[in-house]
Structure 1
């Protein structure tokens, strides 16, 4: 069973959450919301399978 996470806001703490979720077995970041295009691109690099 996989637990799916959604991240709202990918500033400094949001990116840290992305990195930590990627370290947990049985989890994935399924969706990301970030209005700033540059930050959204950086977040997408950490969770390439997530819906933006």
Structure 2
């Protein structure tokens, strides 16, 4: 896993812990893998997270 991917994972987990429930992803960002992993590892149930691509 790249450093950039780990940064995305950490950012998503922090955002979820801080109350964010809407996450924007796009192929151009190249963050799909990190966002997915961050949601899986995060403290919020997936059904409560709104992901837009």
> What is the TM-score when the length of structure 1 is the normalising length?
0.46
As a proportion of its length, which structure holds more helix?
2
Query: Higher relative CO (CA 8 A, sep ≥ 6), structure 1 or 2?
Result: 2
